[in-house]
Amino acid sequence: MFNPTPHHMKSPMVFNRQGGPQQITSSSKTKHALAFLCLFDGLRTPSIRRLVRKPRTICMKPLLTFDPSFYAPSSKSSLQETYLKSVNCPCEIAVDPSVQTVLNLLRRHTTSMPPQRVILHYFGHGCHPPMADGCLFFFTDDRARYKPIKIQNIVNACACPLCIILDCPFAGVLLAHLSSRADIFAFCACSACEQLPLSTDAPMDLFSSCLLKPFDTALFWRMRQNSSIYEEQKMPPEECCEFLNNLFMSLLDSILFDTQTKNNIESFTRDPSIAQLTRGFVLAQRVMLSFNLHPIAQPDLKPMASHPLWEFWDVALDFSVTMEKDEAISMIFKLFISSFKKFPKSGYFPLFSFLMTIQDYHESVCQVLFDYMDSTEGAAENAARSSIPKTIMKMQKPSAISLLILAKILSTGSTAPFDQQTPFNFASSSNNSVIKAGMLAMCCALNNQSLASFNRLTNLCIDHAVDCAPYSALFLGLLIERGGRLMNLPPFCETFVKLIKEDTRDDVRAASVFVLGVSKDTQYIEMLVDLLADKSPFVRVQSFFALLQMMQVAPNKEIFPKMKALQNDTDQICKNAVIDAIPTLELIEANADDAFGVKPVCFSLNGILQNLTLSVRSPGFMKRYEKNVFELKQK
């Protein structure tokens, strides 16, 4: 036990949130935060302890009013508001708590069913530092002495997942005692052998400020660095702050995305509250390093303090301080794009996700991003892990190039960012290029996800059958194939028959044959038989599969030999596809004499969707998009 001072004892204060329980959004998996502010300093009475530097702020809020004789409700509400704004959960604050107070709070908030994460924020600047045996120090009930409790006992008292913030000297010494549970995140202000800065140049709550108020802290830190340059402290104008805040958050995401493993990123970003704290930790690594301190986390995060994007942020801040808003944004955009073209990197995708939301630069940003994805192997797979797909789907007026980016991403087999309520905003566009690109994206989405809400787009395919071919035919055919013949559709076959006869593009004709096949309209059997000898191998393949569908409805023994002859086709791709389908054809032929008709045969041999997605995700897709989307398979 350690005796700080026997003078002026005060009871621990616990601040409860005002009013009823806070409503947490459904996306939040963290339900509550508990902040333990261990600030004891001799209660403002002159003593030897007063000669030691003491904490004065937490997250840039003054701590003076936490003294009972100076207590003001505004201090409580402002600190609780910080937690609500930052991590979207209410916070209960205990100042100089006893061990029993801590345990009571844990029992009250960590036993929910189903378990939801609780944040434990230990602000230990007025307390004895933690020890290697796992002891974390609070106070006795009368505050006469420090009282330790093993952090393992704190963890064992919590039946829910935890996030532990340790803002105190030697914080890293406790990490070894937290490794027994996989559902714990921890953020430590320094390593096991490091003291927090004693310099008055930085507030003692710098680490907590980085985690909970990263943008404000980044501005403060940059202005502090420039204090010797400017005669007076210069801050960005108010009208720039919203843009800068969004830019900064996306920059932190980019640094994280570029430096950490896929599993680590998924782990730290699955819970929105933890994701926000992790962004702050990225900043903390840079800021604390200037004091030769090394914040650490559990699970371990690789160093990010020297990432090149920090230089971009510093220049962006300088632009915003010295230029008008529009000029500053233009310069920031040009700097980023020119740098990316010289040194392209998939790690910068989160920044693209933000910049494409700025209307004035949307087309330029999307074009640069698409060109990179269309020329770089693996770029689309990396983009699928970023926020780009969701950003595009949220756009009220998506552009054609943004929807092509979405198609590239969905073609990789990644889960589409759709649910039954997702609006398909591209469908209301008056621009056929936008609708066409949107249909392609939906085709790629159907590769691994099919929702009933997609059926709302069938009439769109029919209305734009010619304008958006071949993707209108492909999308309509895929929807009918999945929805069956119960779909109530207006007549559409004649439109696609006309495309088969008149269009010069092989992919348009092949897609039109595909949609005729899934319609199972037997009046077109003779035309399909003639197309078995078409000049395009892909049209021949689709004619074969269309007839395969129709033979189940109206088997014709004279047609079976003509279909089988295609297994000797001169094109190897066509030949292989037919050979794979011959057993199914023979099964249909064997059932043709059945008195009860041909039994339905379940098969999914037509690889048209697989061929499409392969073409979309392969480099050089833009050339194929306007000429022949299946050209890749014909080489």
How far is residue 615 CA from its own chain's centroid? Answer: 25
Helical H segments across 260-324, by residue range: 262-269, 272-289, 309-322
Question: Can you tell me whether residue 594 is helix, strand or coil?
Answer: coil
Do residues 479 and 455 touch, judged by C-beta distance below 8 A? yes
612 vs 614: CA distance, rounded Å? 5
Quote the pLDDT of residue 595: 46
Strand (E) positions, 189-309?
Answer: 296-298
Average pLDDT rounded to a whole number, residues 328-334: 95
Do residues 233 and 223 touch, judged by C-beta distance below 8 A? yes
449 vs 445: CA distance, rounded Å? 6
Do residues 209 and 196 touch, judged by C-beta distance below 8 A? no
Quote the pLDDT of residue 6: 38
The interaxial angle of helices 272-289 and 214-225, nearest 10 deg, is: 10
Concatenated DSSP letters of 468-522 = TTTHHHHHHHHHHHHH-TTS-----HHHHHHHHHH---HHHHHHHHHHHHHHT-G
Query: What is the rounded radius of gyration, in angstroms, for the C-alpha atoms of the chain?
Result: 32
At 298, give phi and psi (nearest 5°): -130, 125
pLDDT in tens, 231-286: 566 788 888 999 999 999 999 999 999 999 999 999 999 999 999 999 999 999 99
Average pLDDT rounded to a whole number, residues 335-357: 95
CATH 1.25.10.10 maps onto the chain at 491-634
Question: In this predicted structure, which of 169-178, 219-228, 332-341 has the lowest mean pLDDT?
Answer: 219-228
Residue 251, token pair as written in the block: 């920059």
Amino acid at the residue 48: I
Among 1.10.3470.10, 1.25.10.10, 2.30.30.30, 3.30.70.20, name the CATH number for the domain at 491-634. 1.25.10.10
318 vs 240: CA distance, rounded Å? 12
Quote the pLDDT of residue 23: 35
Question: Can you tell me whether residue 187 is helix, strand or coil?
Answer: strand
Confidence of residue 589 (pLDDT cuts 50, 70, 90): confident
pLDDT in tens, 281-300: 999 999 999 889 999 999 99
% of the chain exceeding 70 in pLDDT: 84
Do residues 399 and 362 touch, judged by C-beta distance below 8 A? yes
Quote the pLDDT of residue 60: 65
Give the angle subtended at the CA of 512 by the CAs of 506 and 516, to the nearest 5°. 145
Average pLDDT rounded to a whole number, residues 526-553: 92
pLDDT in tens, 394-424: 999 999 999 999 999 999 987 767 777 788 8
The interaxial angle of helices 432-445 and 471-483, nearest 10 deg, is: 40
Token pair 């029919």 is at which residue? 462
Confidence of residue 96 (pLDDT cuts 50, 70, 90): confident
pTM of the model: 0.86
CA dist 223 → 236, 241, 290, 572 (Å): 10, 14, 14, 67
> Which of 68-82, 223-237, 400-414, 419-433 has the largest mean confidence?
400-414
What is the pLDDT of the chain when averaged over all its residues? 85
573 vs 634: CA distance, rounded Å? 7
184 or 235, greater pLDDT:
184
H or E stretch covering 14: strand 13-15
Do residues 514 and 477 touch, judged by C-beta distance below 8 A? yes
CA dist 190 → 293, 500, 509 (Å): 6, 69, 65
The one-character DSSP state at 146 is: E
How far is residue 449 CA from its own chain's centroid? Answer: 18
467 vs 430: CA distance, rounded Å? 12
Concatenated DSSP letters of 41-53 = SSTTS-SGGGGS-
Closest listed residue to residue 203, CA positions, set 176, 231, 167, 173? 167
Concatenated DSSP letters of 385-431 = TSSHHHHHHH-SS--HHHHHHHHHHHTTTPPPS--TT---GGGG-S-
Concatenated DSSP letters of 92-140 = EEEES-BHHHHHHHHHHHS--SS--EEEEEEE-TTSPPP-TTSEEEEE-
554 vs 551: CA distance, rounded Å? 5
Do residues 268 and 304 touch, judged by C-beta distance below 8 A? no
User: Using CA of residue 263, residue 301, residue 318, residue 220, what is the dihedral sign?
Assistant: positive
Amino acid at the residue 384: A
Residues with Cβ within 8 Å of 154's Cβ and at least 6 positions away in sequence, in order, are 102, 106, 120, 136
Amino acid at the residue 553: V
Closest listed residue to residue 186, CA positions, set 88, 91, 82, 281? 281
Quote the pLDDT of residue 178: 92
CB count in 10 Å sphere of residue 90: 19
CA dist 108 → 92, 95, 112, 117 (Å): 11, 17, 9, 13
pLDDT in tens, 2-20: 444 433 444 444 444 333 3
Closest listed residue to residue 438, CA positions, set 495, 628, 422? 422
44 vs 55: CA distance, rounded Å? 12
Average pLDDT rounded to a whole number, residues 443-462: 84
10 Å CB burial of residue 96 (0-12, 13-18, 19+) is: buried
336 vs 359: CA distance, rounded Å? 16
Question: Using omega within 30 degrees of 0 as the cis cutoff, is the peptide bond preceding 299 cis?
Answer: yes
H or E stretch covering 149: strand 146-150
Adjacent-strand bridge partners of 92: 34
63 vs 61: CA distance, rounded Å? 6
% of the chain exceeding 90 in pLDDT: 57
CATH 3.40.50 maps onto the chain at 30-45+52-233+254-298
9 or 546, greater pLDDT:
546
Strand (E) positions, 161-273?
Answer: 162-167, 184-188
CATH fold, domain 30-45+52-233+254-298, is Rossmann fold (3.40.50)
Quote the pLDDT of residue 622: 94
219 vs 221: CA distance, rounded Å? 5
Question: Can you tell me whether residue 210 is helix, strand or coil?
Answer: helix
Closest listed residue to residue 5, CA positions, set 122, 130, 142, 136? 142
